[in-house]
Chain A
Amino acid sequence: MVGPLIPMGVIPETWNNVIALLLGVGFGFALEASGFSSSRKIMGTFFGYDFVVLRVFFTAAITAMTGIFYFDYMGWMDMSMLYINPYYVMSAIIGGIIMGFGFALGGFCPGTSFTGIAIGKIDAMVFSGGLFIGVFIFSELYPLFQGLYNSGNMGGAKIYDLLGMRETVFAFLLIVAAVGMFYGAAFVEKKVKKVEY
């Protein structure tokens, strides 16, 4: 079965929402079981007392990336059919900076706050409430942001193209960088005073 299965018509569209629910269960389980329902565990990455976010995030990214490249190479999936979020240079950077600010205050990102809600964290519920307010504010003030939001569209640009590298070379370097960070994280964790939470 050559993927992606739904766009290829292997699985009918009607199953889309059921599949969404099931994949979501896997996503939520992996996040909660790793400790992402706790804001103080998440924030450990920035202070060096618990690098769980760094480990889980980069392991997940390189696992999925390797699977996608392998399946594409073997002809089991057509990578060119995958949806790529368009790259609007300034909007992506400014959005990321604002999210980082929110991360430092709130201790969650949207996905992790939902798992916090699932186990009864009131701070996660309040954070999620804030998300709705934030989206509402952005939408209402959209005329002000419109210029920035739509500027510098580079479409589904790939990072290796921008860097002038072969995709496999970049993928390999990313894996090397991730493993390097895992060693670095273990080293820092030993030096930093433990935080009870």
Chain B
Amino acid sequence: MKRDGTFYINPYLGGILLGLVLFGTYYITGRGLGASGAVKSSVVSAVHTVAPVHAEENKYYSKFLSDDASPMSNWLVFEVIGVIVGGFLSGTLYGRLKLRVEHSPKITGKTRLIAALAGGILFGVGSQFARGCTSGAALSGMAVLSASGIITMMAIFGSAYLFSWIFKKLWI
């Protein structure tokens, strides 16, 4: 095994590992994995701190505000902290820790960052419509064969395939 950052585990092994973690999550907690939900909890919590009345009057934030628990004490927030720790452990093990902007040689770092920001904003909006992202809606939904999981997965990958060719220059 090389530690210069070029080594990745076999993708099928990675898939089985991820599948076992997802299965374990269902077996232990009765629900799937997620990612965008932690962002939602943080946004709800931040808005509620800065403008409590506004948050309580807004029909979306108020769905996730309850008197007995802070939205930050959400399961997914702890899970995402774990994701960052796990990613850091793997990055350390395989020698990938490095502060940098990764981009195609055809574009500048600045272009990459603008596209990344726009992509993040769109993903943030889309994940609210779909009630979850690639993890919480698509992957976790597929594991229990839910209609929402399969349909969201097809919509994400189908649309990403189409748009990636339109924005091909960003990548290759």
Contact = CB atoms under 8 A, between A and B. Distances in A.
Residue among A4, A55, A84, A167 with the most chain B CB within 10 A?
Answer: A84
A38 B90 CA distance: 13
Nearest to A52: B11
A74 interface: no
Contact of B126 (A11, A40, A46, A102): A102
Residue among A65, A71, A167 with the most chain B CB within 10 A?
Answer: A65
A58 B152 CA distance: 14
Question: Could you tell me the dominant secondary structure of chain A's interface residues?
Answer: helix
B102 A38 contact: yes
Interface residues of A, number: 132
A152 to B, nearest CB: 11
Given A95-B155, A104-B164, A86 B148 contact: yes
Contacts of A126: 113, 116-117, 120
Given A143-B59, A148-B129, A28 B15 contact: no
23 contacts: A4-B30, A24-B81, A24-B85, A24-B86, A27-B22, A27-B82, A29-B86, A34-B14, A34-B15, A39-B102, A49-B172, A59-B15, A67-B27, A82-B26, A95-B152, A99-B133, A100-B156, A103-B163, A127-B119, A134-B122, A139-B43, A142-B60, A146-B59
A23 B145 contact: no
Contact of A158 (B58, B140, B147, B166): B147
A46 B164 contact: yes
Interface string A141-160: 01101101100001011111
Interface of B: 8-9, 11-12, 14-33, 35-36, 39-40, 42-44, 47, 58-61, 73, 75-76, 78-91, 93-94, 96-104, 112-113, 115-168, 170-172
Interface string A108-119: 111111111111
Given A103-B119, A114-B84, 13 more contacts: A5-B28, A51-B11, A60-B19, A63-B23, A68-B143, A100-B126, A101-B122, A102-B126, A106-B120, A108-B120, A115-B90, A121-B102, A122-B99
A61 interface: yes
B129 A197 contact: no
Enumerate the 4 nearest inter-chain pairs by beta-carbon distance, A residue then B residue, closest first.
Answer: A134-B124, A106-B119, A24-B82, A130-B120
B29 A19 contact: yes
B129 A56 contact: no
Contacts of B137: 85, 92, 95-96
A43 B170 CA distance: 10
A20 B78 contact: yes
Contacts of A142: 58-60
A178 B32 CA distance: 21
